[in-house]
Amino acid sequence: MIRAMAYLAAPQMNALRVNLTLATGNPIPYTEIRFPEDIRNVSSTATPDASDMQLPGAEQGHLVQRGDGWSLQGNCTIRALPALKPALDRLAGQNITLSLSELSRLDTAGAYALESLRQRLERSGGSLSLRDVQPDHGALIDRVAQAMPKPETSPKKPMRLTDMLELIGRAVAGSGRFLLELHAMLGLFLARLFSFLRHPGQFRLTALVHHCDQVGWKAVPIVALMSFLIGVVLAFQGAVQLRQFGAEIFVVDLIAISILRELGILLTAIIVAGRTASSFTAAIGSMKMREEIDAMQTLAIDPATVLFVPRILALLITLPILGLIANVSGLFGGAMMAWIELGISPGMFLTRLLEDTSPRHVLVGFVKAPVFALIIGIIGCHAGMGVGGNAESLGRQTSSAVVRSIFAVIVAAALFSVFFALMDI
Amino acid sequence: MAADPVIRLRGIRNQFGPAVVHDDLDLDLYRGEVLGVVGGSGTGKSVLLRCIAGLRPPQAGQIEIFGQDALNCSEASRREIDARMGVMFQDGALFSSLTVRENVEVPMKNIKGLDAGLRRELADLKISMSGLPYAAGGKSPSELSGGMRKRAGLARALALDPEIVFLDEPTAGLDPIGASAFDELIKALSESLGLTVFLVTHDLDTLHATCDRIAVLAEKRVMYTGTMADMLHVEHPWVHEYFHGPRARAAIDTLERTN
Ligand SMILES: Nc1ncnc2c1ncn2[C@@H]1O[C@H](COP(=O)(O)OP(=O)(O)O)[C@@H](O)[C@H]1O
Ligand SMILES: [Mg+2]
């Protein structure tokens, strides 16, 4: 069982052990495992042999009456305890004497059972005297008696109204602080960025290129595919509706405006939030967890400069490019579907697109890209810095970074829509 | 004591690709003793420990544990052997998502019929026997200091009252007071629980304070075994340097002063 833990700790070793144990050799005589029988069904003679090489599976112990006292026979170990404990719990009376002369094995769990029996009897005004204790058993019982855990009971108070209000207040203050921290992160990023403008020599171009590759280039296939499919869906749904009015040609406007203005950049940002915010959090968080960030600070390396700036800058550079790719492939998907479904030839699609769709839609779309990039990058890096000392919090922060950044991107998109509508753009 | 080896290694060879770590290594571990295993960094102390504990089979040789062939046996009997051994890893290797108490309860979950209440009490007992305060049971491993994590690792290794425990550098990274408290803990537990201990260590104070016998790993095998006093008369240059260096002399001095 200890080994089971070792397995969990070192999963790669598991395979080795499996190989080892599959090479099964001769069966040995111990494989039959007997479980402790219920105390009432057991005769009063001690069964197990007391040899040292006894196997753990066959341990049993019995409590039997001897004259005016009791005697513990066989094994009083953790494996024998489940069957033995009810019998010990039933012992009651003023002065109980328990002989341990016939006890063959005692472990800490057994000693604990004896010690808690003593405590229980003493609490009810009785006593327990152990007789014929073998020296090693006595030493063990003494050791356990010294170490008996003393729970520090802290009475649980019922939740009152003020506690509830306090919880709500803390949650509100917490989210206020969260927003504040995000702004601090933004300020830090901008400050470091401007200091690069003054000292361009310190800029780490390699890191930037690396992150552009991770964030941008590697995301191209998924972004292009997703956008293509959205174009297809829009064209198809638009065709079904617009055909009823004989206004099929307007499907081009439908696709162009919705993709260029809203969907292309928004869906790209959502995909990038899922991919990139989580990877920022995981990368920075695991460094935080292993105190690498503390080490950087002591070595006079600014974590914001080496960790945040290249990542967020890479997002700022690549998100518009990804948005462009999304726009092109969305239009391509829409054009294909319009051709198949409505017979609008690619040439006609293109002419209509160029004549009717004003470039301001494209601009409205791209203006949002840097804002989304900042939101994703800052939330991802901030969540990474919030990781505590254990793997659990790394996982929690990673998933909350994804949820928060997607949520924030959608909220920002909604605000943009309202703004542009009010401004008549 | 000397008549009853619980672990007998013969002709062990461990290698990683072309790099041979152990070659033709023999070692006996006797019932009830605390064996200190020393050797330079990278001489394969941890590899030897993993090899005996069944985490990594050797490329050649025989391992006999409790009189059984531990390499060519059925899976069930290997599991029985494993149940009688406990391992404490270098940094405790506690499960970070569980509390300390839950960590200690993990091995007990395999015991049929043990109800949750009793299991919890026994876990608290082990935690207390390892010298941790009661409140540590409810904490998660990341909230503990290095020394407390090691104690928690020991509590988990001792959860089922193993007959043999393997400790990998238990006092590395502890402050001297914490380290000597840990030495005393090992000594006391080994006496009162009748433990056989396989103790990998670099710490000369630990060797003095706890070990009945010392095995020196060098040149891919166990070069010397013997008591501390025997080690002082070994001519091998590394062993001589190890037991006669400035740190060794300081440790011996303190030991003599305390006696
Ligand atoms: N998984 C592994 N793969 C390759 N080599 C290893 C592996 N584990 C250990 N070694 C090598 O085995 C040797 C002994 O390592 P180890 O037992 O950890 O030394 P130590 O005595 O310091 O505990 C080292 O030279 C190490 O490089
Ligand atoms: Mg090691």
One domain for residues A103 and A38: no
Our count of domains for chain A comes to 3
Cα A94 from Cα A75, distance rounded (Å): 26
Q: Is residue B246 part of a domain?
A: no
Distance of CA B48 from the midpoint of ligand 2 (Å): 9
Residue B43 DSSP symbol: S
Cα A112 from Cα B111, distance rounded (Å): 16
Q: Is residue B18 part of a domain?
A: no
Q: Is residue A115 part of a domain?
A: yes
Name which of A396, A368, A207, A376 is nearest A275 in CA terms.
A376
CB A54 within 8 A of CB A48: yes
Select the residue of B112, B125, B128 nearest A82 (Cβ to Cβ). Answer: B112
Which residues of chain A make contact with B54, given a CB cutoff of 8 A?
3, 17, 20
CA-CA distances (angstroms) from residue B110 to A10, A243, B80, B161?
A: 19, 68, 12, 14
Pocket of ligand 1 (CB under 6 A): B 16, 21, 39, 41-47
Our count of domains for chain B comes to 1
- The distance of B150 to chain A (nearest Cα, Å) reads 15
State yes or no: pLDDT of B203 exceeds 70: yes
Q: Which amino acid is at A32?
A: E
Cα A146 from Cα A292, distance rounded (Å): 42
Pairing mode of beta strands A95-99, A69-76: parallel
Q: Is residue B96 part of a domain?
A: yes
Residue with CA at minimum distance from ligand 1 atom 6: B16
- The distance of A76 to chain B (nearest Cα, Å) reads 12
ipTM above 0.85, yes or no: no
Average pLDDT over residues A83-88: 85
One domain for residues A72 and A102: yes
Q: Is residue A153 part of a domain?
A: no
Q: What angle do CA A394, A175, A311 make, to 5 degrees?
A: 50
One domain for residues A12 and A92: no
pLDDT in tens, A101-135: 888 888 888 889 888 888 888 888 888 888 888 88
Regarding predicted confidence, which is higher, B162 or A30?
B162
Average pLDDT over residues B118-140: 89
Q: Is residue B101 part of a domain?
A: yes
The domain of A26 spans: 2-52
Select the residue of B93, B106, B128 nearest A149 (Cβ to Cβ). Answer: B128
pLDDT in tens, B156-195: 988 888 889 999 888 887 788 888 888 888 888 888 778 8
Regarding predicted confidence, which is higher, A154 or A220?
A220
Q: Is A403 helix (H, G, I), strand (E, B) or coil?
A: helix
Q: Is residue B114 part of a domain?
A: yes
pLDDT in tens, A35-58: 333 333 333 333 333 333 334 446
Q: Is residue A98 part of a domain?
A: yes
Q: Is residue B171 part of a domain?
A: no
**A35 lies within 8 A of chain B by CB:** yes
Residues 144-163 of A with CB under 8 A from B: 144, 147-152
